[in-house]
Amino acid sequence: MNAAKASLFNAIILIAMGLWAYFAAESAPKTAFVPVGFGVVLLALNGGVKKENKVLAHIAVVLTLLVLLALIMPLVGSIRRGNEMAVIRVALMMASSAYAMVYFIKSFRDARKAREAAAAE
């Protein structure tokens, strides 16, 4: 797995879980489209991440971190309400975002090591 694949996986999870939350809820909350929006943006950035474009990869990392942090309150709210399906959806989005963050960090470390090795030659 690499950063581009992990980010693609995260984008798909965000879109799918956000749409599921919207269509599964009785009141159809508009806030369910927030992760969908982030997922669509991450999907659009994925080509640049795949091509190792530094700027686009850093934007994707920042958005992924924002999503991860922003999902804390929905998770707490879902737990307080006792809505088990919402807890599962939010936890899955958080897990996929954390997974993508791990691969982004690994990718950045590998790129730094490659630059240092090239400079040492």
Q: What is the pLDDT of residues 71-109, one digit of tens each?
A: 999 999 999 999 899 999 999 999 999 999 999 999 889
Q: What's the pLDDT score for residue 88?
A: 94
Q: What is the pTM of this model?
A: 0.88
> Cα 77 to chain center, whole Å?
20
Of residues 114 and 7, the one with the higher pLDDT is 7
Residue 28 pLDDT greater than 80, yes or no? no
Q: Which helix (H) or strand (E) holds 53?
A: none
Task: Tell me 30's DSSP state.
Answer: G
The domain of 58 spans 3-120
- Encode burial over 13-22: b for 16+ CB neighbours within 10 A, e otherwise: bbbbbbebbb
Q: Please give the Cα distance from 64 to 60 (Å, whole number).
A: 6
Q: Is 83 left (phi over 0), alpha (psi -120 to 50) or beta?
A: beta
Domain count, the chain: 1
pLDDT band at 120 (very low <50, low <70, confident <90, very high): confident
